[in-house]
Structures are given as structure tokens and as C-alpha cells.
Structure 1
Amino acid sequence: MNRLIIICILTFWAVACSSEKDKPVRSEEPVYTLIFLDKTRSVNVNKSFVAQKYQQAITDIIEQNIRQKGDKLDVYFIHENTSKARALNLTVRSEMEDVSAASPTDREAAETEFNLSLTREKGQIRQRVLQQLMTQNDGASNQETDIWASLPVIARANETGATVKVYYLSDMIESVKGATRRDFQVTPPKDNAQADEWAKADARQLKRYTIGSPEITMILPFEPNAAVKENNPAVTQYWQTLLAELGAGNVAEE
């Protein structure tokens, strides 16, 4: 009787382990990275502080988000026609081969080959994004800053089902003429309370864009000792409130 119980237990354990082993390994969801580069007259990437900060930011973004085949990265320019200003559309091609049945030696070789391929691809992507960072916009489109127009871009990325991460390399000074728009160059919010009030009012008309719950980072071009007139904290407050109202999972400032 005891022998029969032991056999049953061993059989059950073997089946359970086999079943667990046969389950497919679930890969991480792809990441869809959106980088919005401010190409208006108020942001000068030729300044050494701005160039250094933004180049490092781009390096970090690529290192964190480019990890596997299927990860995507788009670059858009921020100006008067932001939603139509896609400058880059890249998809990662480096692929890790299936090593589930491989020997430890073959597994290590495959991982090494994948890492080398991914490192090369990251370098190529970085170079292309940096080229776009330094591209000058001397045309008439640099007169207005339409950050609202980034919202339909985020909404389209959200439709892919990927994990969406958004980065604004911008001073975030929305500046569009019109009765229903904001021009922070002319009339910025005077304090956080007014920023919250404006953001909540604007969110009501912008909720038509389903942006999901992306992670959003605003990387500002201001030096640490910048005056309030230049780096107005109420402007940042406006965007944090607006994007949160629209469903953003996390809104950070750097």
C-alpha cells in the first residue's frame, strides 16, 4: 500500500513538472517609444548644456527601451504641425533564437550573438536619433509649439497594444494662437492653482484622444539655476495635471 502511494506521488510530480516545463516561455511585451523633439525657436540644442543633456537622455532612452525584436521607436518634431512631423520610424530586428532545448554552451553562444547584434542596432538607432536632434528648423513652422498635437500620436501608439513610453525633449511652452488654444509665451499660468484649472478644462475637449496609460517624461532644457520666468513651474504643473487627467500612468520631469 505504501509502495503504491509513493508511485502515485512520483507519477503526479513527474506529470506536473513536465506540464510546467512544456509551457511556452512568455516574452516581455514590446515597448513603443515616442520621442518628441522641440524644433521651435525657444529651444536651442546648440547650447552646450542642452546638447549634453539631450544627447545623454537619448542614450539612456535607447538603452532602457530597446531590448528585443519588435520594440519600436518613433521620433516626431514639435512645431506648428507636430502630428504630421514624424522624422523616424524604427523597429528592432535583432532576435534571440529559441534556446529552450539547447545545451548550456549553445545557449551562451546564442545569447552572446544576440547581445552583439542588439548592441550594434542600438548604436545605429542612437546615431539616427542624434542626427534628428541636431537638425535645425529655420522654416516658418518654428513659430508655434503645438504639444497638444502629440496626443493623437500617442493614441495611435496605444492602439498597438505595446507598452508606450513617451519622452518630450522640450521646454513644454505650448504656443498656439486661437480662442480655444493656449499660448504660454503670451499668457502662462500664474500659479499651480490656475495651471490645474486650465488643465482640467482643456482635458474635457482632449479626452477624445485615448492615450491609454503611458509613462511620460518631460526632459526640460533649463539649467538648474534658471529663473522662474524661464522655467515656470506652473507650466510643468499644467502638463502633469492635463496628462494625468487623460490617463497617463506616470508623468515625470527631468
Structure 2
Amino acid sequence: MQQRFFSPTNNTDRYLNTLINWAFFAALCLGLFPGCSSSPDKPTPTDDPVYTLIFLDKTRSVDVNKAFVNRKYQQMVDEIIEQNIRQKGDKLDVYFIHENTSKARALNITVRSEMEDVSAASPTDREAAETEFKLLLTREKAQIRQRVLQQLVAQNTGSSNRETDIWASLPVIAKVNESGAAVKVFYLSDMIESVKGTGRRDFQMKPPKDNAQADEWAKADAQQLKRYTIGSPDITMVLPFEPNASVRENNPAVTQYWQTLFAELGAGVVEEQ
């Protein structure tokens, strides 16, 4: 009868080979697929900071006391904060749009909630740290939301409410672009530029008659406005118009003008809501 002998050496080699194979797989997973080791939904120290700009229209043409406008803009504020306030170092500025937009900063906020370093922590300590961070961030988001909503409903009864200078938001965006953060811009406005004077646009008196003219005007205006290096921010125009608004009230050619102008200046995603 053939006898079989147990070989400690062979089994040890097999065990070591198994460990090496698993180590190689783990290294490959971590190196090529970072998602294997962490959830993309959780902020980490390697996330790029976000700089959010909210421009609130404080001219006579936008009434935030109207139920539809108030509801839409409050929901938008909630979404902005939820999606862009994620970690320490994220920033949010609120500016008023009126005759003196570039000097109308109403809020300047920097997120302070910080996730402690858990790279060497046990699973239990890691979970505790994440829970604590979520609580701190949730509390800070609520405070930021309250402050932004206070500015949303603030009334502008001064003479600056007679003109809407949206062009003046461009140097603000250009300045923020210098921070190196990912820039998100939100206009809570009807986007009716109305500034009197040579070389300016007054869409209340003379809006573009169609998309072709809107594109023509935007490309011409972009030549002088390219002095502002706005980078490639994501821009969202949140209009106050109800779904049944007329063309006279919600002129699609005006929206076309801004989409073309922002694109000509280098913006990334430009959308209307």
C-alpha cells in the first residue's frame, strides 16, 4: 500500500502563496479602484473644496414674497447646501443682485466641521468619528441654511433696486476662481439685465428678439467681458417664473443670451431651472 506523508514545508509554502496572492489583490484594488476601500459619498481629506456663490436678485422685478417664488427658492437653497457643504474648508458666499452687485456681499461662510483622521483607527473608533462628524456637519448646515434664508427674504427698498447688473457678478466669480476650489454659481434671478448706458444691455427696454440675436449679442459682449477669467464654474440659473408664464414674462431668448455668454467665457455646465 502506498503511504502518504504530511509535508509541513509544502503546506507552509502553499499558505504563504495564498497570503501573497491576497496581498497582491488588495494592493491592486486599493491602487486601481479606490472605491473598494471607501464610500464615495463620505467626505475624505482628499476631496477638493467647493466654493459656492449664490446671487440673490434684490431688484423690483423679483418678488420672493410670492408663494411660488418663495417655495422654489427655499427648496433651491436646501439643495445647494446639502450638495455643496460637505467638509471643512468649503465656502459659501451670498451676493445681492442690484445696481451695485459686485459690492453687495451679504454672507461669507467657511465650513468648520472637520472629520478627524481615522486612517489608523479601529472600525469602532472610525464609526464613532464618522457619526460625530455627521452630527457636527448637520448642525452647521442648519445654521448656514437659516442665515441664507434670512438673506433670501431680506427686502431692498433702496435706489439700487432699480437696475439689475448681472455683468457685475463676473469679477466676483473671477476672484473666487483664484482660490483653486471647484466653483458652483447659482443665480436666483429672472436674469433680466437692465443697466442704462453706452455698451450695456437693458433687457427691460430692449430684449433680444430671438435666439439668433441673443447669440449674436452674447458673443459680441463676451469680447469685452473676457477680461474676467472666470475659469470653468458650473452655473445654474434658477428663474422665478411659474410654468404658465408668458413669453413676454419668461423670454427664452434672454436665457439663451446668458447660456451663450457664460459658455463663451469658459463656463463648464450651464443650466436653467
TM-score under structure 2 length normalisation: 0.86
Query: In 1, distance between residues paired with 2:125 and 2:251?
Result: 56
Query: In 2, distance between residues paired with 1:241 and 1:168?
Result: 16
Query: In 2, distance between residues paired with 1:112 and 1:65?
Result: 19
1:125-144 equivalent positions in 2, closer than 5 A: 125-144=144-163
* Residue 117 (str. 1) matches residue 136 (str. 2): yes
Query: In 2, distance between residues paired with 1:45 and 1:117?
Result: 31
Q: Deviations over 1:51-71 (max 9, x none)?
A: 000000000100000000000
Query: In 2, distance between residues paired with 1:87 and 1:186?
Result: 29
Of 69, 78, 95, the match for 1:76: 95
1:7-18 equivalent positions in 2, closer than 5 A: none
TM-score under structure 1 length normalisation: 0.92
Query: In 1, distance between residues paired with 2:143 and 2:27?
Result: 42
Q: Give the aligned partner of residue 215 of structure 1.
A: 234
Q: Give the aligned partner of residue 216 of structure 2.
A: 197
Among all aligned residue pairs of Structure 1 and Structure 2, give the percentage whose two residues are the same amino acid: 77
* Residue 182 (str. 1) matches residue 197 (str. 2): no
Q: Deviations over 1:37-88 (max 9, x none)?
A: 0000000001110000000000010000000000000000000110000000
Q: Rg bigger for which structure?
A: 2
User: CA 1:162–1:182 in 2, change beyond 3 Å: closer, same or farther?
Assistant: same
* Residue 237 (str. 1) matches residue 248 (str. 2): no
Q: Give the aligned partner of residue 86 of structure 1.
A: 105
How much has 1:36 moved relative to structure 2? 0.0
Letter in 1 for 2:185: V
How much has 1:27 moved relative to structure 2? 1.4
Secondary structure of 1:88's aligned partner: strand
* Residue 43 (str. 1) matches residue 62 (str. 2): yes
Query: In 2, distance between residues paired with 1:86 and 1:154?
Result: 12
Query: In 2, distance between residues paired with 1:26 and 1:106?
Result: 17
Letter in 1 for 2:95: Y
Query: In 2, distance between residues paired with 1:53 and 1:21?
Result: 42
Q: Give the aligned partner of residue 56 of structure 1.
A: 75
In structure 1, the gaps of 5 or more residues are none
Letter in 2 for 1:130: L
Query: In 1, distance between residues paired with 2:168 and 2:59?
Result: 14
**Runs ≥4 residues deviating over 4 A:** 6-23
Query: In 2, distance between residues paired with 1:50 and 1:242?
Result: 25
Letter in 1 for 2:65: N
Q: Deviations over 1:211-245 (max 9, x none)?
A: 00000000000000000000000000000000000
How many corresponding residue pairs? 252
Letter in 1 for 2:161: N
